[in-house]
Structure 1
Amino acid sequence: MATQEPSSSDAVLLPSIAATSPTVIVKVGTEGKEYILHTELLKHHSGYFRGALSGAFKETDDGVIPITDIDTDAFDTFVDWIYRGITTFEPSSSGKQLFNAYNSYILADRLLVPGLKSALLGSYCELFSGKSHKRPACRAIVELFRNLAEDDPLLRLCVDVWATRKAIYKLKDFEKDEASSLPQSFFVRLMLRMNELGQNPPSVGTFKREDYSERVRLDG
């Protein structure tokens, strides 16, 4: 299991402080799944919740924060991470688990949780630099490019993996149909990267975790 960075800020939050802080109900998904969470943990790790719990959002007046347009499995990953300090995503995870990890990364970006993004990104680097020859699926690339900023390090990693493995020449039959949905911006970046790397690109293993860093976004 991947470990998290200590926090999304430089300060360390003591468990005794987190566990004795007030709680808030976060209602997630279209069915409104309820999570009862400690406010100090939420504020410590998430810029989004720091804003929500500062009184900036009227939805918190009754002690409930509704977020109806996100996936509950991805939010489970976020909750497990802030309480346990680990993610359950591993290089041996199934395709379904990998896709949920992508959704969790998108959620972490939306909720301004750089620590979780970093932990997941480290797992992706480990996964794609291994001998499994795995690469981001077409549908995952579609979602990532739709929801992340163009300079996000995970997008750069996706492009690098496809370029170094010459994935465009190795598509399976079902992938050829899915490839028609890939965004133009991905194809442009892929062609430019393949041109930069040349006919004999380095292996994915030469790309290290430190090659993929992100400027921390400041929350309001």
Structure 2
Amino acid sequence: MVAHGTRSVRGVQAVGDLARAVARRVGTVRVAFVDVLGPSPSEVLGEGDGAAVVVPCFLAAGYHVHTDLPRHVAASGRPEVTVTAPLGPDPLLADALVRRLRAVDWRPGDRIVLGATGSSDPRARADVAAMAALLAERVGDDVAHGFQAAGEPLVSDEVARLRAAPRRVFVASYQLAPGLFHARLHDVGADAVTAPLGVAPEVVELVAARFTAVRAASGRA
């Protein structure tokens, strides 16, 4: 299970909690990080020589999924590695986001901005837009989306734009774990910000499903 990495102790703990929850469904799960801290994917994969399944725990497919992770797999020298699709966009994540919104008193009619980190990769930005569309289907209303680190529109600009209407504005945090980018969402002027997706049951189910699909296809189910 590969995550981005964070200096937040709570963020690292959240990734560990997710790995343990998934392990209860599928068996042994190892965690690796592509940035900030270790172990790296190449280090974890290099510790064995059997078949391995890598699940990228990213909510959109940008540089880390398309470039960084394949480089780590090649550097590991492990001969039989399958890399699954990342987590998002996916309808299960939309279900989790709706539950997170309800937990902060969102109600039908309130406006929503899906708050993502951002990426220089247009494919990642397209994934976030697709996730906003899936969430819109669930709530029966338009859902805006915005970025913080790279890409437009900015989350803060979208919140300000929606403030023009006499309705409350909620930010649905499109973050897997607590960290710097989730914390910044609390400064954009929304009425409330949801918790990160973390160990939401839908996320656990999605990670486990990515793994079991590979296992089933290889005849090891």
* TM-score normalised per structure 2: 0.32
Q: Which has the larger radius of gyration?
A: 1
Greater helix percent: which structure?
A: 1
**Structure with bigger RCO (C-alpha 8 Å, 6+ apart):** 2
* TM-score normalised per structure 1: 0.32
